[in-house]
Amino acid sequence: MSRLSRVVCIALTLCSLSAFGKESLVFRTEWSHDAQSVTFKRSLAIRTLSVGREHYPQIRSFYKRVSTADQDNVILKKAAK
């Protein structure tokens, strides 16, 4: 049986805050399902301790996108026999 999946990744790199070339903020959701189960994974990585006010618009936009992604729905339907 094939396994279906979907991945959403939102990343923000603030040049002055990037450590070792990695994104400063990363949000990722992943879901997959097969005939027996649905699996949902969510992660939020914050790789900085403080952010200057000049980055506020970018940070706010990032969290708005995360909030929108959090509102996604999973619709379960009974399989046809």
* pLDDT values of the chain reduced to their tens digit, one per residue, 81 residues: 445 566 667 766 655 444 445 677 888 888 887 878 888 888 888 877 777 888 888 888 888 888 888 888 877 777 777
Residue 62 CA to chain centroid, in angstroms? 10
**The pLDDT of residue 19:** 46
**The pLDDT of residue 20:** 44
Q: What's the token pair of residue 23?
A: 């994104």
**The pLDDT of residue 2:** 46
* Torsional class of 16: left (φ above 0), alpha (ψ -120 to 50), beta (otherwise): alpha
**The pLDDT of residue 15:** 52
